[in-house]
Structure 1
Amino acid sequence: MLILEAERITHPFAPVWNQNSKILILGSLPSVKSRENNFYYGHPRNRFWKVLAGIFEVSIPETIEEKTDFILGHQLAIWDVIESCQIQGSSDSSIREVKVNDLEIVLRQSNIHYIICNGKAAEKFFMKYQYPEVEIKPIVLPSTSPANAAYSLERLISVWKPAILNLLNDENSLVS
C-alpha cells in the first residue's frame, strides 16, 4: 500500500462569486485532481457538477468558464473553508495545521444569506474555525465526493434540490 507523505497545501484558486450570489457552497479543500485541474470539484467521479445540473435541469458544465458562468448565473458562490493545511493526498481525515479562508471577503460584498457545507468535513472545519465569527449557521448537505458511496447521484439530487431551490426562492434573502 502506498502511503503518501503529508504536505503543506495552499488553496490554489479564487472563490467564485459576485454581488448577486445568495448561497455560498463550501467544501473543505480542493482535492489533488481539483488542484491539477485548477478548479473546484475537478475529480471526474465527484458528482458536484452533475448534482447542480440535475437541480436546475440543464446540461453539465464542462469548462472552467462554463462552470463559473453556471455558478454565477444561478446566484451561487463556491469556495472552501481551508486556505492552507498539512494533508496527505486528498484525505480530509489527514488534515492538520489548518489556516482558514477569510469568508468575510465574499460575505461583505455579496448578497449571501446562506452557507451550505458540502459534506461533514467542510462542516467540521467551518464550525471549528469560523462559526460563530461568521454569523451564518451552515446547512450541511451530503458530500458529492466519490468517497460518499452511501449516496447515489439520484439520491444526492433529491436532497440537494429542495435545499438549493428553497433557499434561492426565500424572499428574505432578496436585496430590497
Structure 2
Amino acid sequence: MEHVEHGFGPVWDAASRVLVLGSMPSPKSREAGFYYMHRQNRFWPVMAALFADPADPNDVPGDSPDSRRAFALRHHVALWDVIASCDIVGASDSSIRNAMPNDLTPILRGSRVTRVFTTGAKAGQLYRRLIEPGLSAAGCAVPMIQLPSTSPANASMRLPRLIDVYREAFEDAGILRTT
C-alpha cells in the first residue's frame, strides 16, 4: 500500500461540455503526467473512434500528453479524476483506501459541462459518496453516468463494445450527433 497524490491537474476550458472522471491515475499515467497513458488502456482508442474526423488526418489523439490534451479540448471533453490522494496498491481500484476527493466545483462553474461520466465502477462509487453530496450542497450538481472502465483489467469488455457504450452516452449527452 502506497500513499499517492494525484500529481497533475484537470484538463478543461470554458467550452468543455462533458467531464470524464477516472478514479486515480495509474502508475504509468502518473509517470507520464497525463490521463490514460498505459499503452493497453483503451480510453484514447475509444475517443478516437468517437471524435476523430476521418477527413482530417491531424484530428487524432496522438501519443503525447500535449496532443491528447488538445484532442480532448477540441472535442469539448474535460478530464480529471475523482481522487486527489489515496492509499493504493499499484493501479488496483479495489485496493483504494483513505480517498480524498478533488473539488469539481471550479470546472462545473467555469465551463459548459452538463454531464459527468465516470470510467469504471470504483470511480462511480467514489463520485457518489465523496463528490456528489458536496456538489448538490453547492448548487452545481450535474447528472453522472457510470461508464465501463477502459482499463486492460476490464478484459471482458472488448473495444467495439466499449466504443458502442461510450458512443451512446456521448450521444445522449448531446456531445455527438446521433448516427
Instruction: Give the alignment's TM-score, normalised by structure 2.
Output: 0.88
Residue of structure 1 equivalent to 2:57: none
The answer for unaligned runs of 5 or more in structure 1 is 1-5, 171-176
Residue of structure 2 equivalent to 1:158: 164
The answer for unaligned runs of 5 or more in structure 2 is 54-59, 136-140
1:24 to 19, 34, 51: 19
Q: Alignment partner of 2:171: what SS?
A: helix
1:44 to 25, 39, 49: 39
State the Cα distance separating 1:60 from its structure 2 match.
4.0
Residue by residue over 1:36-86, the C-alpha shift from the partner in whole angstroms, topping out at 9 and shown as x without a partner, is 111100111000000000112443421111101111000110000000011
Residue of structure 2 equivalent to 1:54: 49
* 1:129–1:119 CA distance, 2 compared to 1 (3 A): same
Residue by residue over 1:115-145, the C-alpha shift from the partner in whole angstroms, topping out at 9 and shown as x without a partner, is 0011111101101111132222311111101
State the Cα distance separating 1:108 from its structure 2 match.
1.2
Root-mean-square deviation (CA), in Å? 1.4
Q: What residue identity is the alignment partner of 1:52?
A: M
Cα distance in 2 between the residues matched to 1:169 and 1:94 = 33
The aligned runs of 1:97-108 (5 Å cut-off) are 97-108=98-109
Cα distance in 2 between the residues matched to 1:66 and 1:42 = 12
* 1:169–1:106 CA distance, 2 compared to 1 (3 A): closer
Across the two proteins, how many residue pairs are aligned to each other?
A: 165
Residue of structure 1 equivalent to 2:138: none
Q: Alignment partner of 1:108: what SS?
A: helix
2:9 to 14, 25, 28: 14
CA contact (8 A) 1:131 1:137 kept: no
Residue of structure 2 equivalent to 1:80: 81
Q: What residue identity is the alignment partner of 1:112?
A: V
Cα distance in 2 between the residues matched to 1:60 and 1:105 = 26
Instruction: Give the alignment's TM-score, normalised by structure 1.
Output: 0.89
Q: Alignment partner of 2:134: what SS?
A: coil
CA contact (8 A) 1:8 1:87 kept: yes
Q: Alignment partner of 1:131: what SS?
A: helix
CA contact (8 A) 2:114 2:142 kept: yes
Q: Quick one: percent identity of the two aligned structures?
A: 43
Cα distance in 2 between the residues matched to 1:107 and 1:125 = 18
Cα distance in 1 between the residues matched to 2:86 and 2:168 = 33
Residue by residue over 1:20-42, the C-alpha shift from the partner in whole angstroms, topping out at 9 and shown as x without a partner, is 00100000000011111111001
Residue of structure 2 equivalent to 1:90: 91
Cα distance in 2 between the residues matched to 1:60 and 1:131 = 30
State the Cα distance separating 1:7 from its structure 2 match.
1.1
